[in-house]
């Protein structure tokens, strides 16, 4: 049980409050403090003009279509912070409310339909103190990450959990994560833009990307665990059990205040945690070795 508590993925702000975030290196802390000090206090300071926020490679028709779509949905509000994730997927961040006690950070992901030149909302994640403890601060943290680099974005619903998850897990592969356990971390670094966060956790270095995270051995650079955020699934623990069957072990992590399932998959272990109140999946982690010794 001790090992379960130590290896939890909540380091990456999934299921913990932003007030409890432990920054791994001084650069991350300084960057967050600078962003926090400079953060505007009103919606109008954060939401700027279309020309300032939309990527330059979008044509004028697309800009107008998006602005019209957004205004129709949001009753004429200014276009929020906006970025292109790929050729069809875009993401916006909106700050709603002046008082942090009542305000929200709203991350919306949109898909552009080339045939109709329109945008459709395919995912939404809202951070506020009503829906999650210290939710506003957590949303602020994600916004700071989001705006710090063009390649950074908030994870969105783009995965479906299937029975094949455990089959692949037994091979050291986590569906939805590009590289399997055993990959040399240098391969990932060469193929990816800089990670959103990197550092050490319980002696293990890690690279944290928008859609996945890699833990690796510092001695030989071999990946030993992979993970992703539950926002990519948008399902509950009950739905996990319906798909994967009864977990090998079910428990409650007192340190992180969250229920979890453990599935044994050959020489690997799949850890899935959920929110205490909503049961929504928070983290999905695959690690080599077994967590079941001594349970």
For 50-62, write each residue's pLDDT tens digit.
323 334 344 444 5
**Cβ(278)–Cβ(236) under 8 Å?**
yes
- Give the C-alpha separation, 111 to 160, whole Å: 18
In sequence order, what DSSP letters do the residues of 159-196 get, joined into one string? Answer: ----THHHHHHTTT--TT-SS-TT-BHHHHHHHSPPPS
What is residue 103's three-state secondary structure?
A: coil
**Which pLDDT belongs to residue 37?**
39
**Which pLDDT belongs to residue 63?**
54
**Which pLDDT belongs to residue 262?**
96
For 11-47, write each residue's pLDDT tens digit.
333 333 232 222 223 333 333 333 333 333 222 222 3
- Give the C-alpha separation, 237 to 279, whole Å: 6
N- to C-terminal Cα separation, the chain: 6
Q: How many CB atoms lie within 10 A of CB 259?
A: 17
- Give the C-alpha separation, 35 to 220, whole Å: 35
Domain locations along the chain: 2-18+157-288, 43-148
Token pair recorded at residue 99: 């008082």
**Which pLDDT belongs to residue 74?**
55
Residue segments in the chain with a per-residue pLDDT below the cut of 70: 1-80, 290-295
- Give the C-alpha separation, 18 to 145, whole Å: 13
Sheet hosting strand 258-265, strand order edge to edge: 197-201, 204-208, 213-216, 223-229, 281-288, 268-274, 258-265, 249-253
**Cβ(223)–Cβ(214) under 8 Å?**
yes
């Amino acid at each position: 049980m001790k090992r379960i508590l130590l290896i939890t993925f909540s380091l990456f702000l999934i299921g913990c409050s932003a007030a409890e975030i432990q920054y791994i290196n001084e650069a991350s802390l300084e960057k967050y403090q600078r962003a926090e000090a400079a953060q505007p206090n009103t919606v109008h300071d954060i939401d700027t003009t279309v020309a300032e926020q939309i990527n330059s490679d979008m044509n004028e028709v697309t800009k107008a279509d998006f602005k019209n779509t957004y205004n129709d949905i949001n009753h004429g509000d200014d276009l929020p912070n906006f970025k292109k994730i790929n050729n069809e997927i875009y993401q916006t961040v909106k700050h709603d409310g002046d008082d942090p006690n009542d305000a929200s950070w709203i991350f919306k992901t949109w898909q552009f339909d080339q045939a109709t030149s329109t945008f459709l909302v395919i995912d939404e994640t809202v951070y506020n103190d009503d829906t999650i403890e210290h939710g506003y601060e957590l949303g602020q943290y994600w916004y700071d990450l989001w705006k710090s680099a063009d390649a950074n974005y908030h994870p969105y619903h783009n995965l479906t959990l299937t029975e094949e998850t455990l089959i692949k897990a037994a091979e050291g592969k986590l569906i939805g994560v590009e590289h399997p356990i055993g990959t040399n971390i240098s391969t990932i670094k060469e193929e990816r833009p800089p990670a959103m966060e990197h550092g050490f956790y319980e002696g293990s270095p890690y690279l944290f990307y928008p859609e996945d995270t890699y833990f690796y051995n510092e001695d030989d650079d071999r990946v030993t665990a992979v993970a992703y955020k539950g926002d990519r699934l948008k399902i509950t623990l009950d739905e996990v059990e319906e798909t994967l069957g009864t977990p090998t072990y079910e428990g409650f992590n007192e340190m992180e205040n969250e229920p979890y399932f453990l599935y044994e998959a050959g020489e690997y272990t799949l850890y899935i945690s959920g929110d205490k109140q909503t049961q929504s999946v928070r983290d999905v982690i695959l690690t080599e070795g077994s967590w079941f010794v001594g349970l």
